[in-house]
Structure 1
């Protein structure tokens, strides 16, 4: 037990040398994500924007990503500069996928008044966008930073998407708070999920780390609020509907309707007869 201040500081100094990874700051990671989002979707105006010129902002973001990757350089398979170049080469494809997502939300949510509202204020779209950015960095074997980015989005939106998940086109998260999508989840195209949905694992043992632990959701599936779908062997067949509050640990065939059956009793309250009270003055 460390009780002496000098010993405590010496201990911290020793610990610094033992860390396997060195990481960029979380505020810097958050600023990078938000500036990148404003570059791709300049719907909102930022009084502190670096520049109104797209090319200048683009170059600045390249430099920011190199800076974020530098603490991880020893753990990268390529230099921070090369990883950055490859990431930005993939940015047009990421942008195209995000347009599919935004249109899916705008076209299917009757409360949405247009693409501008979706990209500016919808937490589901923001969480999906950060996931797609982080997923690309993970695909380039960048450690830890992708998770840092999605956890930043988690803190902003209440939506937890692991960067390792595989998510298809036109993904729609409605409302979103409490959504959890695990690392080995596979989601097809045109999938829509509501708040409180968990796509998780039945076991959390460390020995399962390299195995498929989370479910597969095929194309055109709708999952309603607070449904829980667990297990690496669980497959929700295409064009199925999973109702609210469902607990599912086994596969369902395509075109299935799965719902939680419950009974709600409505009764009249018993009326008590209240005797009048006579006051004597």
Structure 2
């Protein structure tokens, strides 16, 4: 097959008319500038909001595929929610700083904690979710996922003062509901019992009530599963049914240690 034939075959198999990878890079640049605008004390807010609006217009041109959706109106509505999002993120940072004895300052939380960064990008992406503009919030949280190892779907509903400790390997599904003052550790999964396309509009992921702590590598599955308030879920637990309030759930593996007599 000659070169012209190869090129023609490749073009014939490019079947997705909206698949423009520069959307991904532009979304990452937009996310970086948005994060800096909210947190970096030296970043000029007014100037950056103008830059962000320009960048957002570029994202609209690349990702607003439904011409009936007024995507340009989303920005003005979104900007008005930024003070509230920032207030929530400050509560998250304060929760981390007050709970983690390893944190030396709250500035360290903002700059060095992957759990906080993942929560921040989730909250910023969630503001776009459900606005007829689905690709950009998904790309934002995937950007954070790639950097932190934390996979939070932008559709999840997360309350105030959320703390992810150590972060890596956490998965939070699209229809998960997490209420206030919840703390989770690395490797926790809030997932679905099984995956099927016809479940797209149903609640597939669990609800976590107030003041729950979920330790490392616990897996909680199912849209009807509710973890009651003030409960503690131990590490490596596997749950597919609800837990009453004020419960402690723990997994007890059998560990055997065999010690051989030392031979000199």
Question: Offset of 1:82 from its aligned partner?
Answer: 1.3
Verify: 1:36 aligned to 2:27, yes or no. no
Q: Decide which moves more: 10-19 or 220-229.
A: 10-19
Corresponding position of 1:278: none
Q: Tell whether 2:181 aligns with 1:190.
A: yes
**CA 1:72/1:113 → structure 2, altered by over 3 Å: closer, same or farther?**
same
Is 1:67 equivalent to 2:20 in the alignment?
A: no
Instruction: Return the offset for 1:90.
Output: 1.2
Alignment of 1:53-92 (within 5 A): 53-75=44-66, 78-92=69-83
User: What residue is the counterpart of 1:203 in the other structure?
Assistant: 194
Residue of structure 1 in register with 2:112 after alignment: 121
Deviation at 1:18, TM superposition (A): 4.3
Contact 2:37 2:44 (C-alpha < 8 Å) held by counterparts: no
Contact residue 114 and residue 167 of structure 2 kept, 8 A = yes
- Structure 1 length normalisation: TM-score? 0.87
1:214 to 1:198, Cα distance in 2 relative to 1, 3 A: same
Q: 1:164 aligns with which of 155, 164, 177?
A: 155
Distance 1:92 1:9 in 2: 50
**Equivalent residues of 1:21, 1:75 under 8 A apart:** no
TM superposition shift of 1:141: 2.4
3-state SS in 1 of match to 2:127: helix
Distance 1:4 1:240 in 2: 66
* Farther-moved stretch of structure 1 (217-226 vs 91-100): 91-100
For the residues of structure 1 that align with 2:226 and 2:131, how far apart are their CA atoms? 28
**Alignment of 1:234 onto 2:225:** yes
| CA spacing shift, 1:16–1:80, aligned 2, 3 Å | farther
SS in 1 for 2:125: helix
Partner secondary structure for residue 9 of structure 1: helix
SS of the equivalent of 2:65 reads helix
String of CA shifts for 1:223-279, please: whole Å, max 9, x gaps: 000000011111101110000000111101000000001232233223335xxxxxx
In the alignment, is residue 136 of structure 1 matched against residue 136 of structure 2?
Answer: no
2:11 corresponds to 1:13: yes
Q: Which 10-residue stretch deviates more, 56-65 or 71-80? A: 71-80
Cα deviation for residue 15 of structure 1 reads 4.9
Runs of 4+ in 1 over 6 A off after TM superposition: none
Aligned residues: 264
Distance 1:179 1:201, change over 3 A: same
Partner residue, 1:153: 144
Equivalent residue for 2:90? 99
Q: Could you tell me whether the CA contact under 8 Å between 2:209 and 2:229 is conserved in 1?
A: yes
Q: Which consecutive unaligned segments of at least 5 residues does structure 2 have?
A: none
Compute the displacement of 1:140 (Å).
2.0
Partner of 1:224: 215
- Structure 1: stretches of 5+ with no match in the other structure: 46-51, 274-281
* Residue in structure 2 matched with residue 279 of structure 1 by the alignment: none
